[in-house]
Structure 1
């Protein structure tokens, strides 16, 4: 049953990239609606079972939650935007570089990485150069999309680091409700200030946004949160790396996305590097799981 649930989670997060790439609605609108819907659906449970947690948090804990929510909003905004400019496979692979950003954040905080971590980082970065080099030869938009995906990985890393601290005194449902709420409010403000339309979309786009919410937010995020109680974070993080090839396969099947062979080589390098880093960090400390998109 556990393996089946893990397979469902991988398929859920893998489907989000192709689904959002197929949606003609603005990237910020997609990000807002998926978080707003998830917040509303989580509210009844969070506001009843988590009422005690909500009234006992310190000011510092609330600031951590707020920061995590804003970083999650920045992650969604940049990554979903990247899907409109570069290939789904490249966007998923480059946003998965959040593991390397977490390593860099640790270095800034004074934590020295081991040799295996450095070697894994070098492999993954080599893969990034291969993909971005190919995309540079294709179009300027594709290269911009690659940059947005990498930025999405950085914001995801900041979200994970801040969220790990915030969750020390918050349950999964309560924290998820709060961080999605902050994320949704942040995206709403950006949309209103920037004049991004939040409605008037075709029925097909609304259906795709609903599908993204179900696949990524619930079948992806929620199932992963459940599995953390019965599986190690390292195993889950390694399994979630399958989002890269599965997402690429779904994009090829449903969007007809064909990639240069060099891009596949870059994907392999990134996957190999991230796997090495995840395993090495797992031997030394609990590993933060990847953000399921």
Structure 2
């Protein structure tokens, strides 16, 4: 059975990047709730503006890498493109799901992402520690309790539930493909390609679905820019950076910290005080994340003490 791929040791910079990413993605739901625009339009603009901001730097400083991806590295470029497609599918399924089913049910079902991530890792031949599986289960249950999942039986709600579940699956595929791409491709180049592909697909979806892409008020555009700076560039991009040193399954569990983070921001900014009944779920979610992180750290220490072969150089 294939072993877990060799990774550089976790450093202070990566820990800081993960902390920043969790805080940044926690702002996503409150900003989307504040923005008076269709969710798919917001998703399109956040990706387009992000890739517009990244492209000048990438094209100036990563030209050699782009040439390599266009030639000998075409297989690696394919993983960047496929990751962008999966990210677009994640946005296109999860964000509309909240319009069909309850926000609580949609959030709970998309929170199954770590389960799908673990299954993907298992399909890749990796043996995940029992502690990781236990932590994944505890954190997902905690996320469901924290969101107060209230599933209904209407046809529209059932369709929304399926879309939210698909959103969690596509989110796991996006992170898994990103993990593969980041083994050889720099963060800047990977995110530029990924966000560009995602924006292009979402543009087609919005045009076909006749989703309005303009005519929004100033507050909405400011919310979109805040999403770009926070959830997109400091959130998704920092998680992508950390994929060099942190397994995709652990990243997916850490993303669940968005649930309590968004609750705190929603309380401080929008005055949406979390219901007391959600507090046990939040505590369970945090406990599950802690179990996954500690179990992964133990596994990494064992792997670092074992003899390893020389790894292929990778870029930050």
Greater helix proportion: 1
Which residue in the other structure is 1:31 paired with?
A: 43
Q: Is the 8 A contact 1:93 1:270 kept in 2?
A: no
What TM-score does the superposition give when structure 2 sets the normalisation length? 0.74
Structure 1: 5+ residue stretches without partners: 287-293
Which residue in the other structure is 1:217 paired with?
A: 232
Q: Which moved more, 1:91-100 or 1:267-276?
A: 91-100
Distance 1:248 1:264 in 2: 10
1:195 pairs with 210, 226, 234, which one?
210
Q: Which moved more, 1:164-173 or 1:2-11?
A: 2-11
Matched, 1:256 2:271: yes
1:108-131 Cα distance to aligned partner (Å, 9 max, x none): 233333322232233234335546
What TM-score does the superposition give when structure 1 sets the normalisation length? 0.79
Matched, 1:18 2:30: yes
Which residue in the other structure is 1:291 paired with?
A: none
Which residue in the other structure is 2:85 paired with?
A: 70
Q: Relative to 1, partners in 2 of residues 1:240 and 1:113: Cα closer, same or farther, differing over 3 Å?
A: closer
Which residue in the other structure is 1:101 paired with?
A: 116
Distance 1:34 1:172 in 2: 18
Q: Is the 8 A contact 2:87 2:198 kept in 1?
A: yes
2:261 pairs with 238, 243, 246, which one?
246
CA positional deviation for 1:274? 3.3
- Report the number of matched residues: 282
Q: 3-state DSSP class of the match of 1:168? A: coil
Q: Relative to 1, partners in 2 of residues 1:123 and 1:239: Cα closer, same or farther, differing over 3 Å?
A: closer
Which structure would you say has the larger Rg? 2
Which residue in the other structure is 2:190 paired with?
A: 175
Q: Is the 8 A contact 1:86 1:143 kept in 2?
A: no
Structure 2: 5+ residue stretches without partners: 1-11, 302-316
1:17-72 Cα distance to aligned partner (Å, 9 max, x none): 10012212111100000000011111111112111111222332232121100111
Which residue in the other structure is 2:314 paired with?
A: none
Distance 1:160 1:215 in 2: 18
CA positional deviation for 1:277? 2.6
Alignment of structure 1 residues 69-148 onto 2, 5 Å? 69-82=84-97, 86-87=102-103, 95-127=110-142, 130=145, 134-136=149-151, 148=163
Distance 2:98 2:227 in 1: 14
RMSD value, Cα: 3.5
Which residue in the other structure is 1:289 paired with?
A: none
Which residue in the other structure is 1:290 paired with?
A: none
Q: 3-state DSSP class of the match of 2:215? A: coil
Q: Which moved more, 1:192-201 or 1:72-81?
A: 72-81
CA positional deviation for 1:247? 1.0
Matched, 1:157 2:169: no
1:192-231 Cα distance to aligned partner (Å, 9 max, x none): 11111111222221121111111212333455667789xx
Q: Relative to 1, partners in 2 of residues 1:31 and 1:147: Cα closer, same or farther, differing over 3 Å?
A: same
Alignment of structure 1 residues 2-13 onto 2, 5 Å? 8-13=20-25
Q: Is the 8 A contact 2:254 2:289 kept in 1?
A: no
Q: Relative to 1, partners in 2 of residues 1:119 and 1:221: Cα closer, same or farther, differing over 3 Å?
A: closer
